[in-house]
Amino acid sequence: MSVTLPESVDAWRLVSARRSFQGVLPVAAMQRLGDALASTEGTAHYELDFGRDEFGTSYLDVRVQAPLMLTCQRTLEPFVLPVTVDSRLGLIRSEREEAALPPGCEPLLIADDGKLNLVDVIEDELLLALPLVPVNPDSTPAEEVVGPDPEETSGEGRSDNPFAVLRELKKR
């Protein structure tokens, strides 16, 4: 098992050799991911395993864990979202081969020369794992957005409710 991650590899040779890589990658090394984050601090722990399954399908297993700093769209405050990726990518040479992939195996189209950038694969999987609208699960909406709690408002006096007049007519 290798600890260093080469910039570019021959995917088909790694499948034949059943190579594995594991290590730590700084989040700052992934520019596209950094553009979607509130901060590029931290590291991503990865494990990559190349192989061939019982049906002869070439695959790349990708496992990544990274605490990513996102901006909560409810409070606009930064928060840490622990992201875990565990996916199997079926290596294909053409789009026609996609239909032959087993269920649960996402396609990864490999260039004709077999070259694959492993950092890009890790970055792509982390980008796909990000929520469309990041919201801190510990946050609560601001009162200006949701309004006061109905239980806190008293029933006395004139209400700003536009249906208050209808309520009065219904009582008659």
In a domain, 172, yes or no: no
3-state secondary structure of 72: coil
Give the C-alpha separation, 101 to 93, whole Å.
12
Give the C-alpha separation, 22 to 46, whole Å.
5
Tell me the average pLDDT of the chain: 88
In a domain, 166, yes or no: no
Query: What is the domain extent for residue 124?
Result: 9-142
The tally of domains found in the chain comes to: 1
What is the reported pLDDT for 53? 92
pLDDT tier for residue 99 given thresholds of 50, 70 and 90: very high
pLDDT tier for residue 2 given thresholds of 50, 70 and 90: very low
pTM: 0.78
Contact (Cβ atoms closer than 8 angstroms) between residue 142 and residue 37: no
pLDDT tens digits for 68-87? 999 999 999 999 999 999 99
What integer is the mean pLDDT of 52-75? Answer: 94
pLDDT tens digits for 102-151? 998 999 999 999 999 999 999 999 999 999 999 998 877 666 555 555 56
In a domain, 60, yes or no: yes
In a domain, 114, yes or no: yes
Contact (Cβ atoms closer than 8 angstroms) between residue 62 and residue 125: yes
In a domain, 23, yes or no: yes
3-state secondary structure of 6: coil
Which of 15-19, 88-92, 146-150 shows the lowest mean pLDDT across its residues?
146-150
End-to-end CA distance of the chain: 82
